Structure 1
Amino acid sequence: MPVRGTTLSSWKEEEEMETQDHIRFVHSKRRDACARLERQRLKLNGEPFSVLKSLTWLDVSRNTLKSAKLGTQPQLPNLVTLVLSGNEISVLQKNDFSFLSNSSAFRVLILSSLSLKKVENGCFQAIARLSDLVLDYSKISFQFTTSLCEELAGTALRNLSLKNTQQVSLSNTTFQGLDETNITVLDLSSNTMTKIANGTFQWFPRLESLSLEHNSLRHLTKDTFLGLGNLRQLNLQKALIKSHTSSLPIIDDLSFHHLVQLEHLCMANTAFREITEHIFSGLLHLKTLDLSWSITGLKTVTNTTFASLQDSLHLQTLNLTAMGINKLAPGAFSSLGNLITLLLGHNFINQQLKGDELEGLSNIKEIDMSINQQSISLTNTSFIHVPTLRTLKLARALKGTLDMEPSPFTPLVNLTFLDLSNNNIANINAGLLKGLYHLKVLKMQHNNLARLWKTANPGGPVFFLKDATKLSILDLDYNGLDEIPLNALRGFFELYELSLRGNLLDQLHASVFDDLQSLKYLHLQKNLITSVQRVTFGAPLSNLTELYMDRNPFDCTCESILWFSEWLNSTNASIPGFPQSYICNTPNAYFNRSVMDFDPLSCKDMTPFKALYILSSTAVLMLLFTAFLVHFQGWRIQFFWSIMVNRMLGSLNDESITEGRYAYDAYIIHSTEDKPWVERSLLPLEDEKVNFFLEYRDAIPGFSQLDTIVENMGKSRKIIFVITEMLLKDPWCRRFKAHHALHQVMEDNRDSLILIFLQDVTDYNLNHSLHLRRGMLKPRCVLYWPLHRERIPAFHQKLRSALASTNRVN
């Protein structure tokens, strides 16, 4: 209602101004991405969108707009998607989209839920780059559809959606205007369509995906799909249906023979009279065929039922779920040699599988026969012709016994997934899974295996899992198990998930789960477990990700629950239902209370342990301190110890170093490449009255090299080898110097020779080149050049000690 004191016209002007302000506000918030203005009662005045230079997505649906024209001037240069759904637009006028003439990025136009009656010539000329057009749930006539297709000629259209647009029938001229486009996707679903004329799709030579689901087609002929030679996907789910007053729809032979490139054909929930001899002929590239939940029903699958697919050499998946099948004849799938997946679940197969029913499936990987009303019985040869099988699903499908030798599953050497759940299995033997060394998943829930694992079972427990130690997932829910034999789960080092919910487990052996160190998921809910102790559950709970142990009658006493209580409060594992579903049953003090309420301190008298704790902690800390001190500062301690000992023994007396017949303290042997190191690291010691002989420095000119070596080695108290890889390759050192040095060692003592290692040289190479070994010398005469600068003084001190040692034989 207008406000008192204002006129009706002025009130309307104010409302329009408020609307324009709202548009500007919303756009200013979303200027770089998108604008959603549905249900805003927009009244466009001027050019409200002209400032949105970066807008890519604009939704003005359900605003009672009368026209698709949102401006008079070119604007929105980066717009990609425009949504005009649910407005009151009935005519697409010539200049409606002229405001997008400069929008080079524009691709998607959504005109859903409109009542369109007319399209003017040239209305799409300004948006010729259009690639996606959606008219879902719009009310359009047969004539409008024809005119629309003519106007779309010359556009870049690739995807056209006409879902639920009341297209009751299609003629061979309906889409004639689209022959000049590159449409690859066409959606005609949910149109209650009853008839498609021959040649209707001849205008779509590039179409790759066609959806006709949820229609009411009565007849498919051999020319219904004429022209669709490039089609890859065809969806006919619920496209042919039977009413109470009509007969079954008909699919003629060769109805699909034009679809030479078709890869996926979906006919789920489709009614048709029968599968004829040539119904699928021509589908040379078919990969997937879905006939599930068909009203037709097959009853018996014979060796001719799918003979029309014998040329479909690429067929990999055949879905026959809920097809009313009650029998598989010998060679039923013999024409499908390349099939990988065969789905036969939710049928009524009632027979004994002898093996020839699956003959010819030489490449099969998965067979699903689950939920067949427990009417299939197996023999020793049931799967003898499908050794390539990896997944076998037989849930709620079997009757009779599996206690036979050899097992029906023995031929399946490549099997990785086996589902035997909901079969009331009670009698099996230890060889059930013999040969299944690759089995990863075993589902046996909802059977009757309690007797097999009882200690009192005649002949002892049946270890039917012993050959499947590579299992990752094992499901034994609801089997009435009240005990687990000690070795039942032995060797399952790769088990990832174990489910034992809904059984009657109570007392468990201490080491029954010891090998389950890779376990991540453990399901033990709804059992009779009262005690959770480390000796039993320590291994499986050590690396657990999720634990399900709720709804057990826990005994909340120190002996039964202390360790579990501490584990629950410290673990990082996920425990769904904790604490509300972890309830104590005994004793009375904790009855009907959460395990979380259990007080661990009530189990411990801390006084005797305090002194022990302090003593042990101190000892550990001292040990750690000593270890770190020796590791990081041991060389420094050794350095000062050496100085102290030498001073006490007087070995640092300079006069004792040069006494006797020796003119030099040491003769230094090194390679030419190590000369810089010798001058930098050893010669500075001569400042301390240590006298070295260096051949390149101290040799007398004119004397032969051999005489120089012999004479001056004899005048030296020690002989120093600077060991590097280059020294080992020196011919003079190998042939003469090392030989003469060894001669002096034999004359004097092991102390007369000093080895300084600049590189890590093995004893083998040292002996092979110089006939020397570390073991020939005393440890103080074998030195290593340190890598750390601060340890060089310690090295020099060790060298002084080695030089100062006597050569006299003790």
Structure 2
Amino acid sequence: MNLIVQVMLFTCILSPWTCSPSPHKSTCEIKNAKADCSHMNLDGVPANLPNNITELDISHNRLKNLSSLYLYRNLMNIDASYNSLTIIENSLCLFLPHLQNLNVQHNEVYVIEEKHLKNCSHLTQLDLSDNRLKLHGEPFSALKSLKWLDVSRNKLTSAKLGTQPQLPNLVTLVLSGNAFSVLQKDDFSFLSNSSTFQVLVLSSQLFKKVESGCFQAISRLSVLVLDGSKLIPQFTSLLFEDLGGTALQSLSLKNTLQLTLSSTAFQGLEKSNITSLDLSENRITKIPDGTFQWFPRLESLSLEQNAIKHLTKNTFSGMGNLRKLNLHKALIKSRSSPLPVIEDFSFQPLEHLETLCMSKTAFRELTEHIFSRLPNLKTLDLSWSITGLKTITNRTFAALQDSPLLQTLNLTGMGINKLEPGAFSNLGNLTRLLLSYNFINQQLKGNEFAGLLNIKEIDLSLNQQSISLTNASFIFTSTLKSLNLARTLKGNLDFHPSPFRPLVNLTFLDLSNNNIANLNVGLLTELFNLKVLKMQHNNLARLWKTANPGGPVLFLKNCTKLSYLNLDYNGLDEIPYNALSGFSELRELSLRGNLLDKLHSFVFDELQSLKYLHLQKNLITSVQRVTFGVPLSNLTELYMDHNPFDCTCESILWFSGWLNKTNTSVPGFPQNYICNTPNAYFNQTVMHFDPLSCKDMMPFKALYILSSTAVLMLLFTSFLVHFQGWRLQFYWSLMVNHVLGSAKSRGVAEHRYSYDAYVIHSAEDRPWVERSLLQVEEDNFIFFLEHRDAIPGFSQIDTIIENMGQSRKIIFVITEKLLKDSWCRRFKAHHALHKRAQSASFSSHVLVLEEEPGKLGASTGNEPFIHME
């Protein structure tokens, strides 16, 4: 007993999944009209499902009968596989009149009779595979509509499923893995009236004998699958002779132990109409010349995964109609054998060949005439082939000049290390050139791609970062639409003009995984049609920094038609506010794995077409409406998990509300949206953030806004009064006098003035004014002097305005002290100018006082000079 326990424990250590219980769902998943109740360990169908379901998956449970299905009369599709059913109830189709597809594979159904299926006239698909069937009578005779029947792996001892013609609409019959080894003459007679029958699957059988005429009843057969069956040569020769009288078009002999082929192996199929033949996985080592001459109509041949050693110019003779030849792993090298040989002109008989696949094929060398005379070839796949090819010269593919229709050349993983000038000059119609996973180590000067007049796609990715570009690298490929340079480039791209400048038609560019740190603003200048740009896993952080010498490098500014932009893992810690301006067609933006935290308020505002946004694994703490309102409004999927969110009212109040009401898909929510601060929410999901707590802050927030506004207004008013108060007084006086002084204006208009002149002077020049100007009053002049004639009790402003209006002239006494007097220099001077502009008869005079000619002043006691202007 202890030994058994120890063995079980050891088994659990090695394979823990074998000891852990299978996960079971607790409830059925309902979507549209389908109910998924699989893997629930059920004994019966739940009775609380919607009555209108049409599809039910009840697989992987413990059902012993289907009677509980009668509750749902609208069912059309039932998957009851992997249960413990022993019988199909007679009344099943009676209670489910719409049933079309029934799957009961991997059960224990034993006896099946006509009565079990007599009401299933609408059934179109029936899967009874992997049971223990014993057929009694004519169990399938009532299935008038059945199109697909699978009774494989039931240990049936005969392919005969009935003695009378039945199943008039059957298309496919699967009899694989049963116990019969002989095909008798009348085995398929029950299908003699099946006018639609086309596909017969007899895989994984051990055949020993076939009787002549066994396929006569199904002469309309078009597809025969014998994969995995053990076919001896005697059986195949009789089988092919009997198939010669059918309408067979496709024959699959995959993994049927056809180790050797003779030149007459397929002679019996000479009169057939076979267009597709699959001989893959048979370990064939030799194909004699003329082996396939019996297939004049063959269009597709697969020799995948064999061990062929030699192909000659007669191997494929007689196959002039072949369109597709699959030689994937067909020629392989063993440790003890040399590389297989493909002779020149081996494919010459295939004049209509369009697709030649030689991926992972080993052959001695790529000679000059291997691919000669293939005028209709469109696709040549040599990927991962083992050859001695290291350098591609202008003669390597010279033979393909006979293939003017060639569009795709796949040279992926061939160990190429150099492209010489004109390497593809003979391929003028080539549209796809795939050179990824090689070891190309050179500077591309452009002449390597000379002659590619119609090229649309070049893939140079994953070349160990050993290719450097020049200004002329793509000068001969102006038609290019897709360019893949991922993990390929060495050096930087900071040179002018850009190597991509000639590629005006480019729509796809991949520059990822190149450690690019230096580039200039003109790198993508001419790529106006670019739609997909991949630049992830580079080092672009410095280029978008505000502190970068010369400012941020906006290398994306002309790519306004982008629909996909990937800048993952570039160390970006900021995005310039106008870096994404103009991208109105962008549908997917990926910035995962950077160091982004604070983003400009309007950085995403022009991304109105954005559907997919990736910002996971950054340092984002705050998600606010002013930044994310526009991109999140029309989003289909948002990825912002694994960020250190600050779960406070200021940071994620809006985001929390958006997450709870949005229809946008947010993968990873809530388990991967974790709060980092404050301590109250640390290591909890954002979903636990309580928005109600923010309502208590509203009064304080309003008070803060109100007090801040009041303080700012007070400061503004103080500065305004201090620096511009005189101007406010001036304009206020103009407005008041304009409204209230109309009568006085009329008096002035009638030339009734009280004074001849209003004298403006500084207080320190008063002695000179009294000494010099009062003498003039004796000659019948009346001056208004503010210190003498102002009426006590009147404000200074009113006195100035009132008496300037009653004065015919204004005299300015200009001294250095007057120029320092702010009241005279500002208010009085501006009001005098206003009065002068208002009245054509009004004028002013200026007295300039100087101690000496050319120098202002009146403080020395000497009599100053007086100038009247």
Equivalent residue for 1:163? 254
The CA deviation string for residues 209-258 of structure 1, in whole angstroms up to 9 with x for no partner, is 11110111111111111111111111110111111111111111111111
Equivalent residue for 2:858? none
Does residue 1:310 correspond to 2:413, yes or no? no
Please give the alpha-carbon distance, in whole angstroms, between the structure 2 residues aligned to 1:54 and 1:536.
60
Q: CA deviation at 1:32?
A: 2.7
Equivalent residue for 1:629? none
Does residue 1:546 correspond to 2:637, yes or no? yes
Q: TM-score, normalised by structure 2?
A: 0.66
Equivalent residue for 1:433? 524
Match of 1:257 among 322, 342, 348: 348
Please give the alpha-carbon distance, in whole angstroms, between the structure 1 residues aligned to 2:139 and 2:560.
71
The CA deviation string for residues 691-711 of structure 1, in whole angstroms up to 9 with x for no partner, is xxxxxxxxxxxxxxxxxxxxx
Please give the alpha-carbon distance, in whole angstroms, between the structure 1 residues aligned to 2:652 and 2:598.
13
Match of 1:147 among 234, 238, 242: 238
Please give the alpha-carbon distance, in whole angstroms, between the structure 2 residues aligned to 1:183 and 1:31.
34
SS of equivalent to 2:356: strand
Q: CA deviation at 1:297?
A: 5.0
Please give the alpha-carbon distance, in whole angstroms, between the structure 2 residues aligned to 1:287 and 1:27.
54
**Residues 69 and 514 of structure 1: is their aligned pair in 2 closer, same or farther, counting only changes over 3 Å?**
closer
Q: CA deviation at 1:338?
A: 0.5
Q: CA deviation at 1:361?
A: 0.6
Equivalent residue for 1:71? 162
Does residue 1:93 correspond to 2:188, yes or no? no
Please give the alpha-carbon distance, in whole angstroms, between the structure 2 residues aligned to 1:47 and 1:606.
81
Q: Which amino acid aligns with 1:187?
A: D
Please give the alpha-carbon distance, in whole angstroms, between the structure 1 residues aligned to 2:603 and 2:691.
26
Does residue 1:130 correspond to 2:226, yes or no? no
SS of equivalent to 1:480: coil
Does residue 1:339 correspond to 2:424, yes or no? no
**210-219 or 169-178, larger mean C-alpha shift:** 169-178
**288-297 or 340-349, larger mean C-alpha shift:** 288-297
**Contact 1:194/1:218, CA 8 A, preserved across alignment:** yes
The CA deviation string for residues 245-273 of structure 1, in whole angstroms up to 9 with x for no partner, is 11111111111111111111111111111
Please give the alpha-carbon distance, in whole angstroms, between the structure 2 residues aligned to 1:579 and 1:516.
26
**Contact 2:228/2:256, CA 8 A, preserved across alignment:** yes
The CA deviation string for residues 680-731 of structure 1, in whole angstroms up to 9 with x for no partner, is xxxxxxxxxxxxxxxxxxxxxxxxxxxxxxxxxxxxxxxxxxxxxxxxxxxx
The CA deviation string for residues 139-182 of structure 1, in whole angstroms up to 9 with x for no partner, is 11122212211111121111111111111121221111111111
SS of equivalent to 2:474: coil
**Residues 606 and 60 of structure 1: is their aligned pair in 2 closer, same or farther, counting only changes over 3 Å?**
same
Equivalent residue for 1:465? 556
Equivalent residue for 1:507? 598
Does residue 1:196 correspond to 2:287, yes or no? yes
Does residue 1:584 correspond to 2:675, yes or no? yes
SS of equivalent to 2:146: coil
Please give the alpha-carbon distance, in whole angstroms, between the structure 1 residues aligned to 2:218 and 2:444.
63
**Residues 575 and 48 of structure 1: is their aligned pair in 2 closer, same or farther, counting only changes over 3 Å?**
closer
**Residues 31 and 297 of structure 1: is their aligned pair in 2 closer, same or farther, counting only changes over 3 Å?**
farther
The CA deviation string for residues 361-385 of structure 1, in whole angstroms up to 9 with x for no partner, is 1100110111000000000000000
Equivalent residue for 1:209? 300
Match of 1:536 among 621, 627, 630: 627
Match of 1:520 among 599, 611, 621: 611
**96-105 or 279-288, larger mean C-alpha shift:** 96-105
Does residue 1:228 correspond to 2:316, yes or no? no
**Contact 1:519/1:540, CA 8 A, preserved across alignment:** yes
SS of equivalent to 1:151: helix
Unaligned runs of 5+ in 1: 1-17, 610-810
**Residues 588 and 136 of structure 1: is their aligned pair in 2 closer, same or farther, counting only changes over 3 Å?**
same
Q: Which amino acid aligns with 1:111?
A: L
Q: Which amino acid aligns with 2:244?
A: A
SS of equivalent to 1:539: helix
**Contact 1:27/1:35, CA 8 A, preserved across alignment:** no
Please give the alpha-carbon distance, in whole angstroms, between the structure 2 residues aligned to 1:27 and 1:36.
16
Please give the alpha-carbon distance, in whole angstroms, between the structure 1 residues aligned to 2:689 and 2:141.
70
The CA deviation string for residues 262-309 of structure 1, in whole angstroms up to 9 with x for no partner, is 111111111111111110112111111111111225211111111111
SS of equivalent to 2:270: helix
Please give the alpha-carbon distance, in whole angstroms, between the structure 1 residues aligned to 2:653 and 2:140.
70
**Contact 2:670/2:687, CA 8 A, preserved across alignment:** yes
Equivalent residue for 1:379? 470
Q: CA deviation at 1:19?
A: 4.3
**Residues 21 and 527 of structure 1: is their aligned pair in 2 closer, same or farther, counting only changes over 3 Å?**
closer
**Contact 1:26/1:35, CA 8 A, preserved across alignment:** no
Unaligned runs of 5+ in 2: 1-108, 701-869
SS of equivalent to 2:307: coil
**Residues 64 and 598 of structure 1: is their aligned pair in 2 closer, same or farther, counting only changes over 3 Å?**
closer
Q: CA deviation at 1:59?
A: 2.3
Equivalent residue for 1:278? 369
**288-297 or 323-332, larger mean C-alpha shift:** 288-297
The CA deviation string for residues 20-67 of structure 1, in whole angstroms up to 9 with x for no partner, is 446642575576313333333333444333333333333222222333
**Residues 527 and 46 of structure 1: is their aligned pair in 2 closer, same or farther, counting only changes over 3 Å?**
closer
Within 5 A, what are the aligned runs for 1:27-38? 28-29=119-120, 32-38=123-129
SS of equivalent to 1:604: helix
Does residue 1:119 correspond to 2:214, yes or no? no
Does residue 1:299 correspond to 2:375, yes or no? no
Equivalent residue for 1:269? 360
Q: CA deviation at 1:346?
A: 0.6
SS of equivalent to 1:170: coil
**Residues 89 and 457 of structure 1: is their aligned pair in 2 closer, same or farther, counting only changes over 3 Å?**
same
**Residues 52 and 602 of structure 1: is their aligned pair in 2 closer, same or farther, counting only changes over 3 Å?**
closer
Bigger RCO (CA 8 Å, 6+ sep)? 1
Q: TM-score, normalised by structure 1?
A: 0.71
Give the % identical residues: 75
Q: Which amino acid aligns with 1:66?
A: T
Equivalent residue for 2:509? 418
**Contact 2:466/2:489, CA 8 A, preserved across alignment:** yes
**Residues 495 and 607 of structure 1: is their aligned pair in 2 closer, same or farther, counting only changes over 3 Å?**
closer
Kindly tell me the number of residue pairs found equivalent between the two proteins.
Answer: 592
**Residues 588 and 349 of structure 1: is their aligned pair in 2 closer, same or farther, counting only changes over 3 Å?**
same
Please give the alpha-carbon distance, in whole angstroms, between the structure 2 residues aligned to 1:326 and 1:44.
65
**Contact 1:20/1:48, CA 8 A, preserved across alignment:** no
Q: Which amino acid aligns with 1:97?
A: F
Please give the alpha-carbon distance, in whole angstroms, between the structure 2 residues aligned to 1:37 and 1:607.
69
Q: CA deviation at 1:487?
A: 1.7
Match of 1:328 among 419, 424, 441: 419
Does residue 1:241 correspond to 2:332, yes or no? yes
SS of equivalent to 1:277: coil
Root-mean-square deviation (CA), in Å? Answer: 1.8
The CA deviation string for residues 639-662 of structure 1, in whole angstroms up to 9 with x for no partner, is xxxxxxxxxxxxxxxxxxxxxxxx
Equivalent residue for 1:651? none
Q: Which amino acid aligns with 1:465?
A: L
Please give the alpha-carbon distance, in whole angstroms, between the structure 1 residues aligned to 2:350 and 2:491.
45
**Contact 2:114/2:138, CA 8 A, preserved across alignment:** no
Please give the alpha-carbon distance, in whole angstroms, between the structure 2 residues aligned to 1:396 and 1:511.
34
Equivalent residue for 1:664? none
The CA deviation string for residues 310-334 of structure 1, in whole angstroms up to 9 with x for no partner, is 1111111111110101100111111
Please give the alpha-carbon distance, in whole angstroms, between the structure 1 residues aligned to 2:110 and 2:612.
57
**Residues 557 and 357 of structure 1: is their aligned pair in 2 closer, same or farther, counting only changes over 3 Å?**
same
**Residues 303 and 451 of structure 1: is their aligned pair in 2 closer, same or farther, counting only changes over 3 Å?**
same
Q: Which amino acid aligns with 2:575?
A: I
**Contact 1:383/1:412, CA 8 A, preserved across alignment:** yes
Equivalent residue for 1:49? 140
**230-239 or 597-606, larger mean C-alpha shift:** 597-606
**561-570 or 327-336, larger mean C-alpha shift:** 561-570
Q: Which amino acid aligns with 1:449?
A: L
Q: Which amino acid aligns with 1:76?
A: L
Please give the alpha-carbon distance, in whole angstroms, between the structure 2 residues aligned to 1:30 and 1:325.
62
